[in-house]
Amino acid sequence: MVTNTGTLANGLRKAFYVEFGLYGLWILLSLKGGDSLLSALCGPFLVWAGIRIVACGKNFLQTELDKSPRTPDEQLNLIQSLRLFWGELWITCLTYSFFFPFEKQFTPTAPKAGLAHQGHPIVLVPGFACNRGYWVLMRKWLAKAGYGKVYAVTLEPVFGSIEANAKNLATQIESICQHSGSDKVILIGHSMAGLTTRVYLHQLNGAERIAKIISLGAPHNGTSIAKGLQKLGKNLEQMQPSSEWSSDFNQATTGEPCPVPFVNVVTPHDNIVAPQHSCRLSKTYAKQVVLPGIGHLEMVASKPVLNVILEEL
């Protein structure tokens, strides 16, 4: 099996050790100062949670300011809005604090042997600044539903072009086909991976290997959250709102039906892709499924999203 070195995991793992090392030192000093264990734990936990709450809240604020118009049935009340924020917050805490830094421990590339499976192997593809650790929960749910031949990949380079990521994906899919003995796979791609799978399909003869694509929350027409970040990497430049790259690519590919079955799952409450209609593709090209009340990262841990995936499989 071809696997990547996990550049993102290495960086986040170092950050994990530094952050939790500092929390540990804080706790020891608090205990030496006479604080109770509960009191000593309270401060570090509030700081840990606060950092993530602020980061998550910033994304919601920015995308709310740039939001697309919503239909009456897409409006949320206070309780639904709080649930939306909580759903995004807890999966953010799980992934960036634990699943991403320790992707190898949580999510092996290849599935366990002997698991029951229906149809073609499934390949889970993460988006920008994510790795295969993102798919921990989805992989378990798919296995319970009878889909055990599920592979999860990490794309490199992290800040490379979408075309570079697509070439990396192509190499890994060839390895997966050889490992599984299948000539085709089903791709489930989240966020930027929706673009990566499309580039693989249209520019790298991906139709020979793809049985179906399911795209989750992909910025097919860019996202405002990438504004001002284009100098960090080519992919961030390509994901600028309605960038020349996305406009040219969509114009060249979406006028006719997709060469393979394509299901585009979007949420009008996406807190990373805004305006949210940027996730949408033409009805000629793809089947569109709209699921209100779900956050961007939460899509991988959402039962409604899982139900759509199971229906499409």
Predicted confidence at residue 231, as pLDDT, reads 83
22: region left, alpha or beta (phi > 0 left; psi from -120 to 50 alpha): alpha
**Alpha carbons 126 and 138: distance in angstroms, whole number:** 12
Helical pair 78-94 and 37-65, crossing angle rounded to 10 deg: 120
Helix or strand run (H / E) with residue 264: strand 262-266
pLDDT along the chain (313 residues), means of 10: 78 96 96 92 95 95 93 93 96 95 90 90 96 94 94 93 96 95 96 97 96 97 90 92 92 92 97 95 95 96 95 94
**Alpha carbons 151 and 112: distance in angstroms, whole number:** 10
**Which positions ≥6 away from 305 have C-beta within 8 Å?**
216, 265, 291, 294, 299
Map residue 184 onto helix, strand or coil: coil
CATH number for the segment(s) 1-313? 3.40.50.1820
Strand ranges inside 117-251, DSSP E: 122-125, 150-152, 185-190, 210-216
- Here the tokens at position 85 are 């924020």
CA dihedral 108, 113, 119, 122 (to 10 degrees): 10
Map residue 79 onto helix, strand or coil: helix
What type of residue is 169?
Answer: L
Question: 99 phi and psi, to 5 degrees?
Answer: -65, -40
Question: How many CB atoms are closer than 10 A to CB 290?
Answer: 15
Instruction: Please state the domain extents for the chain.
Output: 1-313
Outline where 33-68 has alpha helix (H). 37-65
Predicted confidence at residue 37, as pLDDT, reads 92
**Which positions ≥6 away from 35 have C-beta within 8 Å?**
none
Q: Are the C-beta atoms of residues 309 and 118 closer than 8 Å to each other?
A: no
Map residue 258 onto helix, strand or coil: coil
For 244, counting Cβ atoms within 10 Å of its Cβ (0-12 exposed, 13-18 middle, 19+ buried), the class is exposed
Q: Are the C-beta atoms of residues 271 and 60 closer than 8 Å to each other?
A: yes
**Which positions ≥6 away from 68 have C-beta within 8 Å?**
268, 274, 275, 276, 277, 278
Closest CA to 263 of 192, 201, 214: 214
Q: Cis link prior to 121 (omega < 30° from 0)?
A: no
- Here the tokens at position 129 are 């600044």
Predicted confidence at residue 1, as pLDDT, reads 63
Predicted confidence at residue 5, as pLDDT, reads 67
